Structure 1
Amino acid sequence: MTDDAAAFAACVGAPAVFVAMPDEAQPFLDAADARSASPQLVGGADVHALELDGRPVLLVRTGIGLVNAASALGTVLELFEPSVVVSAGSAGGLRADVNVGDLVVGTRFRYTDADATAFGYAPGQVPGMPASYAASETLMAAASTLIAAEGHALWRGEMLSGGSFVTAENVGATRETFPGALSTDMETTALAQVCHARGREFLALRSISDLCGPAADQQFHLEIDTVAAISAAAVRQLLRGLPREH
């Protein structure tokens, strides 16, 4: 067995961390005690086998978007049977009091642009599916000790995902429809839906890189590598707190 084959074999049943972009993957690659020499192409995604803080971890870079995320996760579940799935990286700040650099721990997940309300479904609900997807209670408990980066806040609550960017021009309608939502991105809820369908434990830990509708006195943007490091540090702390069977 080659070194890479052994590294990927060790990741069967290990936690899997999903990110969309190279900058979001880099903090995990930099922190790894060991890593596969080359990624595998799995479900259209680049998959790295890591040893991170003394345990095997699968790092999956899906590319941007709901379909990319769901496609990658479906194949990763078949090939590696991860014990838990974590969505990491950056997000847009949605609620008015959220600021760049803050960390969001997702408790529930909904789609911004799923709308079957004419047929009696809740905003963000896909017909035949739950109105929202809940984070794993086990992973939420493990995340209870997380703290924010210095100078920033930690939030726990609802996260949104969709196929369209939420901008200053349309953020008002999104806030009106989802008044409690903290953040928005383009992958997390798709990952949550697949995990719900497959009975897998799921959590999202994302840091705010930009504000969808900033107030006049708010900094509205941080570089992706800065917020990716905040998210990655939180994910590493979470994984260190999980028992080895996870």
Structure 2
Amino acid sequence: MHSTDTTDDAALFAACVGAPAVVVAMPEEAEPFLQLASRRCEHPQLVGNASFHALELAGRAVLLVRTGIGLVNAASALTAAVERFEPGVVVSAGSCGGLRADVNVGDLVVGTEFRYADADATAFGYAPGQVPGMPEAYPASADLVTAASRLVAGGNGTVWRGTMLSGGSFVTAENVGGARGTFPEALSTDMESTALAQVCQAHGRKFLAVRSISDLCGPAADQQFHLELDLVARLSADAVVELLSTLPAPAHQG
């Protein structure tokens, strides 16, 4: 249970300068981090559509950023967080859709690279998913991927490592064939992570995504196709908190 002494918001937010930032899209994805915090601010900072929460998690300061759904909301909120708090590490958390046929709901996906699902400038010689003038893919921090190598999924879930997609459209059973055909290696899809990875690359920040699969874009007949968002959000949050506990604290927090 978090402390009831949440009056010193200024000190809590000051401690978040240089601390890791955990980024989620929805309130349901933020809630487990708020529940797991030993201390948290009383009044979050509101920036556009986003909210910033100063927390103490795993014995360290963490900035929780709730962006709202979508690529633009994600990019604008994280840019504001980088400018205000200069996080050295950014982790995308929450839910995602299972894309590859062998993943299942409740599985954990650790992203190693991030691509846009619905960017198409192939008529001009660009790769599928590549925005003109930008990389084909955005890599995760190798250090963070290594740090996440010991993560386990809750329940009977599997931990996958590989490509995650993001786009402005939901992938459904009706259109999943196109995404699988274009990106056969992709494990999952969401609407924020690649935009976050792009912002981190532009600002020189280490980035990783650790998300849990809440639904399958094209389930097989014998697969469970959906898991409640609150359950999935807690699976992701538990894994992210475990990851944060293994990272060295910033110098001013040591």
Aligned to 2:156: 151
Aligned to 1:141: 146
Is 1:106 the counterpart of 2:106? The answer is no
Task: State the Cα distance separating 1:44 from its structure 2 match.
Answer: 2.8
CA distance in 1, matches of 2:156, 2:91: 24
> Is the 1:44–1:71 Cα contact (8 Å) retained in structure 2?
no
Once the two structures are superposed, what CA deviation does each residue of 1:226-246 show, in whole Å capped at 9, x if it has no partner?
010010011001100001128
Q: 1:20-31 residue pairs with structure 2 within 5 A? A: 20-31=25-36
Unaligned runs of 5+ in 2: 1-6
Is 1:205 the counterpart of 2:210? The answer is yes
Q: Secondary structure at the match of 1:8?
A: helix
Amino acid at match of 1:33: S
CA distance in 1, matches of 2:246, 2:125: 41
> Is the 1:114–1:124 Cα contact (8 Å) retained in structure 2?
yes
Task: State the Cα distance separating 1:43 from its structure 2 match.
Answer: 4.4
Task: State the Cα distance separating 1:144 from its structure 2 match.
Answer: 1.0
**TM-score (norm. length: structure 2):** 0.95
In angstroms, what is the RMSD of aligned CA positions?
Answer: 0.9
CA distance in 2, matches of 1:85, 1:43: 20
Stretches (4+) displaced over 2 A: none
Is 1:123 the counterpart of 2:128? The answer is yes
Q: Secondary structure at the match of 1:203?
A: strand
Is 1:70 the counterpart of 2:75? The answer is yes
CA distance in 1, matches of 2:47, 2:81: 7
CA distance in 1, matches of 2:18, 2:48: 18
Unaligned runs of 5+ in 1: none
Once the two structures are superposed, what CA deviation does each residue of 1:59-110 show, in whole Å capped at 9, x if it has no partner?
0000000000000011110000001000000000000010000000000000
Q: Secondary structure at the match of 2:65?
A: strand
Equivalent in 63, 81, 87 of residue 92 of structure 2: 87
CA distance in 2, matches of 1:111, 1:240: 30
CA distance in 2, matches of 1:43, 1:73: 11
CA distance in 1, matches of 2:94, 2:168: 17
Once the two structures are superposed, what CA deviation does each residue of 1:132-158 show, in whole Å capped at 9, x if it has no partner?
000001111111111122211110000
**TM-score (norm. length: structure 1):** 0.98
Aligned-pair identity in percent equals 75
Is 1:244 the counterpart of 2:249? The answer is yes
Q: 1:40-55 residue pairs with structure 2 within 5 A? A: 40-55=45-60
